[in-house]
Amino acid sequence: MLLPAPRVLAAAAVVLALTGCTGPTTDDAPTPSATAPTTSSGIPAELVGFYEQEVDWDGCGDGFDCAKVEVPIDYANPEAGSLELDLVRLRARDAQGSLLLNPGGPGGSGVEYAQFARVVLTDDVVDAYDVVGFDPRGVVGSEPVDCVEDRELDAIFAADGTPDTPEEVAELEAISERFGSGCQSRSPAIAPFMDTESAARDMDIIRAVLGEEQLDYLGKSYGTYLGAQYAELFPQRVGRMVLDGVLPSSLDSDELTLGQAKAFDVALRRFVADCIEQEDCPLPRDLEAGVARIQGFLADLDANPIPGVGDRQLTEALGTYAILSYLYFPPSDWDVLRFGLDAAFQGDGSVLMDMMDDRIQRNADGTFANNGNEAFYAVSCLDRPGVGGTDHAAALAERWAAEAPVFGPYLAWGTLPCWQWPMGAGTAQAAGEPPVFRAPGSAPILVVSTTYDMATPHEWGVQVAGELDNATLLTYDGDGHTAYTSGSRCIDAAVDAYLLRGELPAEGTVCVPDVAAGSEE
Residue 388: count of CB within 10 angstroms of its CB: 16
* 335 Cβ neighbours under 8 A, 6+ residues apart: none
pLDDT the model gives residue 253: 86
DSSP SS3 for 252? coil
Between 413 and 22, residue with greater pLDDT: 413
Q: What is the mean pLDDT of residues 90-109?
A: 95
What percent of the chain is predicted at pLDDT more than 90? 80
Phi, psi of 327 (to 5 degrees): -105, 5
pLDDT at 3 over 80: no
- CA nearest to 341, candidates 383, 382, 298, 370: 298
pLDDT at 387 over 80: no
The pTM (predicted TM-score) of the whole model is 0.91
- CA nearest to 373, candidates 171, 213, 152, 225: 152
**206 close to 100: Cβ distance less than 8 angstroms:** yes
- Respond yes or no: is residue 488 known to be catalytic: no
pLDDT band (50, 70, 90) for residue 1: very low
pLDDT at 181 over 90: yes
pLDDT at 7 over 80: no
Choose the catalytic residue: 453, 477, 479, 492.
Answer: 453
Q: What is the DSSP letter of 237?
A: G
Distance CA 271, CA 338 (A): 9
Question: What is the rounded radius of gyration, in angstroms, for the C-alpha atoms of the chain?
Answer: 22
pLDDT in tens, 499-513: 999 999 999 999 999
Among 5-14, 52-61, 85-94, 166-175, the range scoring the smallest mean pLDDT is: 5-14
* 360 Cβ neighbours under 8 A, 6+ residues apart: 3, 6, 7, 157, 325, 368, 373
Distance CA 152, CA 501 (A): 49
Distance CA 102, CA 157 (A): 26
pLDDT at 166 over 90: yes
pLDDT the model gives residue 515: 66
Q: What is the mean pLDDT of residues 161-165?
A: 92
Give start and end residues of each alpha helix (H) in 234-386: 253-275, 287-303, 316-325, 332-345, 350-360, 372-383
pLDDT at 16 over 50: no
- CA nearest to 455, candidates 395, 361, 376: 376
- CA nearest to 24, candidates 464, 424, 467, 435: 435
pLDDT in tens, 129-151: 999 999 999 999 999 999 999 99
Distance CA 359, CA 357 (A): 5
DSSP SS3 for 100? strand
Can you say whether the dihedral through the CA atoms of 163, 169, 175, 179 is positive or negative? positive
Dihedral angle computed from the Cα positions of residues 241, 243, 248 and 254, in that order, rounded to the nearest 10 degrees: -150
Choose the catalytic residue: 481, 486, 488, 496.
Answer: 481
pLDDT at 440 over 90: yes
- CA nearest to 356, candidates 65, 157, 88: 157
Q: How far is CA 481 from CA 107, 186, 226, 328, 379, in A?
A: 17, 33, 17, 5, 21
- Respond yes or no: is residue 458 known to be catalytic: no
Distance CA 96, CA 130 (A): 8
Q: How far is CA 495 from CA 103, 125, 245, 371, 476, in A?
A: 16, 10, 13, 31, 12
Give start and end residues of each alpha helix (H) in 84-165: 110-114, 117-120, 123-128, 150-158
Choose the catalytic residue: 109, 142, 176, 221.
Answer: 221
Omega of the bond leading into 106 within 30 degrees of 0 (cis): yes
DSSP SS3 for 452? strand
Among 99-113, 401-415, 418-432, the range scoring the smallest mean pLDDT is: 418-432
pLDDT the model gives residue 18: 26
pLDDT in tens, 36-53: 455 656 789 999 999 999
DSSP SS3 for 240? strand
Q: How far is CA 460 from CA 221, 249, 251, 263, 451, in A?
A: 11, 10, 9, 11, 10
Residue 427: count of CB within 10 angstroms of its CB: 19
| Secondary structure, 3-state, 184-206 | HHHCCCCHHHCCHHHHHHHHHHH
**343 close to 351: Cβ distance less than 8 angstroms:** yes
Residue 75: count of CB within 10 angstroms of its CB: 25
pLDDT at 252 over 60: yes
Q: Judging by DSSP bridges, how do beta strands 313-314 and 306-307 pair with one another?
A: antiparallel
Q: What is the DSSP letter of 362?
A: B
Q: What is the mean pLDDT of residues 46-63?
A: 96
Among 23-37, 55-69, 198-212, 258-272, the range scoring the smallest mean pLDDT is: 23-37
| Continuous segment of H or E residues that includes residue 449 | strand 445-452
Q: What is the mean pLDDT of residues 482-491?
A: 96
- Respond yes or no: is residue 481 known to be catalytic: yes
pLDDT in tens, 314-358: 999 999 999 999 999 998 899 999 999 999 999 999 999 999 999
Omega of the bond leading into 444 within 30 degrees of 0 (cis): no
